[in-house]
Amino acid sequence: MDSHGNQQQSINQSESLPLTLKWKPFAVYFFSILILLLAISLTFPNSNFYRTQHLKFTFSSHSTLLQTLLGFFTPTEKRKQSSTPKIPISKPPYCVLWMAPLLSGGGYCSEGWSYILALYEHIKNPTFRLAIEQHGDLESLEFWDGLPEYIRSLAFELHQTDCRMNETIVICHSEPGAWNPPLFETLPCPPAAYQNFKAVIGRTMFETDRLNPDHVKRCNRMNYVWVPTEFHVSTFVGSGVDPSKVVKIVQPIDVKFFDPLLYKPFDLASAGNLVLGTPPHNSNAKKFVFLSIFKWEYRKGWDVLLKSYLEEFSEADGVALYMLTNPYHTDRDFGNKIVEFVEHSEIEKPENGWAPIYVIDTHIAQIDLPRMYKAANVFVLPSRGEGWGRPIVEAMAMSLPVIATNWSGPTEFLTEENSYPLLVDRMSEVMEGPFKGHLWAEPSVSKLRVLMRHVMQNIEEAKDKGNKAREDMIRRFSPEIVAKILADSIQIILENS
């Protein structure tokens, strides 16, 4: 066992080295992996599994593996100096290392990229350099392939940023269970002892009325905890997180990317699978389209949506519901799940037949998402709780009228003027999972029925609300606005730490 003196010496040495050189003893291991991957690539076809592993390895070692290997075999102090003098390049003295599930495609992923892009594109002459690292959820090859080329190039660029520990602010952008020490297999955040860095920030959120005691402890270990809404400030402090640590940093929405004037509608019918109702007799007939985007879990209120839609509409109404969804600890058999739900419910089939329901369960690339919103008449998400509600703000930025539950994260941006806030009938107890015993909202089925019918019958009013929604997104949550909030908060931390 190492002595205290040896431990202190190790810490001092690690603080003097760039983060990219911290794991030099593992260089031989990485080199072996590289050889193994090369052998695999020559003997097996390029399956999705192989490509995903290759992506993970490439991103986590891009342009720095060779430097690490050279550093391992040729220590810095013994390197031969070049005979040509180099002109020093002036760089900001500090670093911000943003660790998030940047390759996953989930909510934390899209949120992480929105912050990173906001800082990178809108802060001129920053006092810090920006670095990124994959952390948290599993990697998704489909998500990576669907990213615009400039974001993929930026990912490699920012991953090569060299930072010294004692000059670095680390942002752990994930759920607290992933923070050091993580409760599951992931790169720990921070990647070393908390006190080795200038500051460590936890960026997280929850969809219920409170935090677990263990998560409270993890939050209080951080120097600061960034949350996106006033709702979270209240629930975090009420759960026991030190009020002096909790800071509200709203999320940005890329209003230039999500701009309705730039896109033509997506062909929803070509991607959707009809799971209820009958195919249209006239394929050119115009339908009033309700769109919902969510991962398939009870929290998202898909049961509330189905019940309200099927009880309110029939085939004669000329409507269609499209549900873009993906698995969440479940299989992809969404069609049968919907049919089974209807069969076991008390919903009576209308005389004119079921109003059609379509499921889109294939991956839609990020670059195609604006076209999805463009193809709809209204966006609906009657969830029981949201950390923020990213599809909601994306729809609002696209001037699409939205109906969303007026509780938790969305209360930060939903108003009577820019949307149709859905009333809550009552609070209910979470019955399973890690948040069992917490409370969340039960959105009103009857009120949702009324709102869906109202939007359909008042198209011009709905358009006005959609236009106001985009104005609010630009005014409050555009990247340049949030970038300044972020930069100011980081500057305060640098001055106070």
What mean pLDDT is predicted for residues 97-123? 94
Work out whether the CA dihedral 230, 232, 233, 237 comes out positive or negative. positive
| 91-248 topology per CATH | Rossmann fold (3.40.50)
DSSP 354: B
Band the pLDDT of 66: cuts 50, 70, 90.
Answer: very low
> Inter-axis angle of helices 479-496 and 107-122, to 10 degrees?
80
Structure tokens at 242: 């030190």
How much is the pLDDT for 75?
Answer: 34
Query: Is the confidence at residue 246, as pLDDT, over 80?
Result: yes
* Tens of pLDDT, residues 7-45: 343 334 344 444 443 444 444 444 444 444 444 444 444
State how beta strands 288-296 and 319-327 pair: parallel
CA–CA dist 123, 222 (Å, integer) = 25
**What's the pLDDT band for 483 if we cut at 50, 70, 90?**
very high
* Contact (CB, 8 A) for 223 and 244: no
Closest by Cα among 195, 172, 163 to 7: 195
Percent of the chain having pLDDT more than 70? 81
Query: Residue 7 is encoded by which pair of tokens?
Result: 């431990």
Find all residues with CB under 8 Å of 76, minimum gap 6, and list them.
Answer: none
Cα–Cα dist 356/455, whole Å: 18
Q: CA-CA-CA-CA torsion for 21, 23, 26, 27, nearest 10 degrees?
A: -20
Query: How far, CA to CA in Å, does 314 sit from each of 23, 197, 351, 452, 454?
Result: 62, 60, 8, 13, 15
What is the per-residue pLDDT across 332-355, written as a single tens digit (0 to 9) for each?
889 999 999 999 998 999 999 999
Side by side, the strands of the sheet bearing 199-203 are 128-134, 94-100, 168-173, 199-203, 224-227, 246-248
**Coil, strand, or helix at residue 84?**
coil
The whole-angstrom separation of Cα 325 and Cα 347 is: 23
pLDDT computed for residue 59 by the predictor: 55
Looking at residue 93, its pLDDT comes to 87
Give phi and psi for 150, each to the nearest 5. Answer: -65, -30
Question: SS3 for 195?
Answer: helix
Report the SS3 class of residue 453: helix
Domain boundaries, the chain: 91-248, 260-477
pLDDT confidence bin for 408, thresholds 50/70/90 = very high
Question: Under 8 Å CB-to-CB from 430, ≥6 apart: which residues?
Answer: 208, 436, 437, 438, 439, 440
pLDDT at position 358 is 97
Which tokens is 152 given? Answer: 């993929």
* Most confident stretch, 36-50, 86-100, 153-167, 436-450: 436-450
- Per-residue H/E/C for 362-385: CCCCHHHHHHHHHCCCEEEECCCC
Do 211 and 430 form a contact (C-beta atoms < 8 A)?
Answer: no
- Rounded CA-CA distance 159/313 in Å is 51
**pLDDT band at 74, cuts 50/70/90?**
very low
Task: Report how far residue 429's alpha carbon sits from residue 202's, in angstroms, rounded to the nearest whole number.
Answer: 27
pLDDT band, residue 57 (cuts 50/70/90): low
Residue range 470-496: mean pLDDT, rounded: 96
Mean pLDDT of the chain: 85
Identical fold between 91-248 and 260-477: yes
> Which has the higher per-residue pLDDT, 37 or 105?
105
Residue 392 tokens, joined: 């909601």
pLDDT digits (tens, 9 = 90+) for 160-193: 998 999 999 999 999 999 999 999 999 999 999 9
Six-digit token pair at 255?
């209003």
So what's the architecture of 260-477 in CATH? 3-Layer(aba) Sandwich (3.40)
Segments in 313-424 forming alpha helices (H): 334-344, 369-374, 390-397
CA gap 364, 394 in Å, rounded: 15
Q: Residue holding tokens 């070509």?
A: 270
Q: CA-to-CA distance for 66 and 291, rounded, in angstroms? A: 48
